A and B are shown apart, each in its own frame.
Chain A
Amino acid sequence: MTALLEALDLHMQFPAGRGRVVRALAGVDLAVMAGETLGLVGESGSGKSTLGRALLRLERPTAGRVRAFGEDVTDLPERQLRAGLRRRAALVFQDPHQSLDPRLRIADAIAEPLEVHKVGTATQRRAQVEALLQRVGLDPAVASRRPHAFSGGQLQRVGIARALALDPAVVVADEAVSALDVSVQAGIINLFMDLQVERGLAYVFIAHDLKVVERISHRVAVLYLGRVVELAPVAALFSTPRHPYTRALLASAPVPDPHRPLQPPVLRGEPPSPIAPPSGCPFHPRCPIAVAACAEHVPRLQVVGAGHTVACDRLEVSA
Chain B
Amino acid sequence: MDLTSRNQTETSSPLLAVEALGVAFGAVPVVAGVSFTVARGEAVALVGESGCGKSMTARALLRLLPPSAHITGQIHIEGVDVLAASPGDLRRLRGTRTGFVFQDPGQALNPVHPVGEQVAERLRLYSGLSRAAAAARAIELFAELGISDPAARARAYPHQLSGGMRQRVVLAIALACSPALLIADEPTTALDVTLQAQIMALIRARQRAADLGLLLITHDLGVVAQAVDRVLVMYAGQIVEAAPVAELFDQPRHPYTRGLLQSMPGAAPVGARLFSIPGQVPSPGAWPPGCRFGARCDRVQAQCATPVALAGAGAHRYRCVNPVPAP
- Does B265 lie within 8 Å of A254, measured CB to CB? no
- Does B226 lie within 8 Å of A261, measured CB to CB? yes
- Does B225 lie within 8 Å of A43, measured CB to CB? no
Q: How far is the CB of B186 from chain A (nearest CB, A)?
A: 13
Q: Is A253 an interface residue (CB 8 A)?
A: yes
- Does B226 lie within 8 Å of A258, measured CB to CB? yes
Q: How far is the CB of A316 from chain B (nearest CB, A)?
A: 24
- Does B197 lie within 8 Å of A266, measured CB to CB? yes
Measured between beta carbons, the chain B residues less than 8 angstroms from A253 are: 193, 197, 222
Known contacts being A208-B193, A256-B222, A262-B227, is A189 close to B164, with CB within 8 Å?
A: no
Q: Is B192 an interface residue (CB 8 A)?
A: yes
- Does B200 lie within 8 Å of A254, measured CB to CB? yes
Stretch at the interface among A30-38, A74-82, A180-188, A307-315: A180-188
B contact residues, total (Cβ < 8 Å): 48
Pick the contact of B270: A151, A209, A215, A269 (CB < 8 A): A215
Chain A 215-227 near chain B by CB (<8 Å), digits 1 or 0: 1000000000000
**Within B278-296, which residues are at the interface with A (CB < 8 Å)?**
280-281
- Does A249 lie within 8 Å of B164, measured CB to CB? no
A259 to B249, alpha carbons, bound, how many Å?
9
A189 to B273, alpha carbons, bound, how many Å?
9
Measured between beta carbons, the chain B residues less than 8 angstroms from A43 are: 192-195
Measured between beta carbons, the chain B residues less than 8 angstroms from A252 are: 193-194, 196-197
- Does A182 lie within 8 Å of B263, measured CB to CB? yes
Measured between beta carbons, the chain B residues less than 8 angstroms from A193 are: 273
- Does A186 lie within 8 Å of B193, measured CB to CB? no
Pick the contact of A209: B201, B265, B277 (CB < 8 A): B265
- Does A270 lie within 8 Å of B265, measured CB to CB? no
Chain A 239-272 near chain B by CB (<8 Å), digits 1 or 0: 0000000001101111111111110111111110
Q: Is A103 an interface residue (CB 8 A)?
A: no
Measured between beta carbons, the chain A residues less than 8 angstroms from B195 are: 43, 270
A43 to B274, alpha carbons, bound, how many Å?
25
A189 to B235, alpha carbons, bound, how many Å?
23
Q: How far is the CB of A200 from chain B (nearest CB, A)?
A: 17
A189 to B198, alpha carbons, bound, how many Å?
28
A182 to B204, alpha carbons, bound, how many Å?
24
- Does B196 lie within 8 Å of A254, measured CB to CB? yes
- Does B222 lie within 8 Å of A258, measured CB to CB? no
Please report B residues at the A interface, Cβ cutoff 8 Å. Answer: 49-50, 146, 148, 162-165, 192-198, 200-201, 204, 219-227, 245-246, 248-250, 259-261, 263-266, 268, 270, 273-277, 280-281
21 contacts between A and B (CB under 8 A): A43-B193, A43-B194, A43-B195, A154-B280, A184-B276, A185-B265, A186-B275, A189-B274, A214-B265, A215-B274, A248-B194, A249-B194, A251-B197, A252-B196, A253-B222, A254-B220, A255-B226, A259-B246, A260-B225, A270-B165, A271-B194
Please report A residues at the B interface, Cβ cutoff 8 Å. Answer: 43-44, 151-154, 181-187, 189-190, 193, 208-212, 214-215, 234, 248-249, 251-262, 264-271
